[in-house]
Amino acid sequence: MTLPTVIPPGGGEVIGDSPDRRVEILSDHGALHATWSRFGPRREGADLHVHRRHSDLFHVLEGALTVMLGTDGEDVVVPAGTLARVPPLVVHGFRNGTDAELRYLNFHAPGQGFADYLRAVRDGRALSYDQEPPPPDGGRPKTEAVIGGDGLTADRAALLADVEEIGISEAWSDPGSPSAPPHLHRRHVESFYVLEGELALSGGDRELRGKAGSWVQVPPGVPHAVSFPGSEPVRFLNLHTPSCGFGAFLRGLHDAADEQELVVAARAGFDQQPAP
């Protein structure tokens, strides 16, 4: 059985490292390819393109990311703490359009070989990948790109993305707060990126700890539980790929309030079950 993993800050697989750019691979599971990037001031990213078979998402950690949308390349500035989600066939590109350093996470769900594509570029090899120039018909409307969250805040979590291929929330907890009982997901990967504080994950007969800037990933079928052992508040991104009902689960908890039957109903539609 594959065990949970933790990548400490700066510990991802390095694709490129220079004064104005560093890119690390955090995840290359088929359901989710994730990278951490640092761009210097005015650093260019990717020209306008589309993905046909997967969604492209950006979560800005520091600075501001400029996303270009549509065949006219309309500039949309994504500030720190914000998620941008670009569905398949929406024309987009990106860059650092400011005089300050930019740091961001990039998620491709499902992965569609993105990590191998980055490795090929690093190593000077050619490799096909689910990325094409803007199509002649202009692709899907640029208005289908989503900047910002879902607007739902439930049980100390804000829903940021809720589509079939990925569900993302930003969650927060006080130190020492109780965690959910040990559980597992049969059909999807759960990942965490620690924004502030320290997160502990018990799984596979061991405990992993991730401080701010760490990436933690749990494969399907692995019993696990999350706790918050430090003395500071904890804030983190929680990703489910594919979502397997995660968004509906959070909405159900929000609507359920303290009514136990509704809580049970909310959990029933989500790919989560108690650990044996």
5 found inside a domain: no
Which of 147, 182, 213 terminates a domain? The answer is 147
4 found inside a domain: no
Which of 88, 115, 147 terminates a domain? The answer is 147
Q: Do residues 88 and 138 both lie within one domain?
A: yes
Distance CA(106)–CA(210), nearest Å, equals 19
pLDDT tens sequence for the chain (276 residues): 578 999 999 999 999 999 999 999 999 999 999 999 999 999 999 999 999 999 999 999 999 999 999 999 999 999 999 999 999 999 999 999 999 999 999 999 999 999 999 999 999 999 999 999 999 999 999 999 999 987 777 778 899 999 999 999 999 998 878 777 899 999 999 999 999 999 999 976 789 999 999 999 999 999 999 999 888 999 999 999 999 999 988 888 777 655 565 566 667 789 998 888
pLDDT at 263: 60
pLDDT at 3: 87
Which of 101, 121, 147 terminates a domain? The answer is 147
CATH number at residue 24: 2.60.120.10
6 found inside a domain: no
Q: Give residue 180's domain range.
A: 157-270
94 found inside a domain: yes
Q: Do residues 107 and 191 both lie within one domain?
A: no
pTM for this model (two decimals): 0.95
Q: Do residues 45 and 18 both lie within one domain?
A: yes
152 found inside a domain: no
Long-range contacts of 117-123 (CB under 8 A, 24+ apart): 118/15, 118/23, 118/25, 118/35, 119/15, 119/25, 121/15, 122/15, 122/16
Residue position matching structure tokens 């829903």: 159
Number of domains comprising the chain: 2
Q: Do residues 175 and 224 both lie within one domain?
A: yes
pLDDT at 114: 98
Peptide linkage before 141 cis (omega within 30 of 0) = no
pLDDT at 153: 77
Cα–Cα distance list, 225 to 203, 267, 271, 274 (Å): 7, 16, 15, 10
Q: Do residues 127 and 214 both lie within one domain?
A: no
244 found inside a domain: yes
Distance of CA 125 to the CA centre of its chain: 27
84 found inside a domain: yes
* Residue 31 contacts residue 51 (beta carbons within 8 Å): no
252 found inside a domain: yes
Q: Do residues 237 and 128 both lie within one domain?
A: no
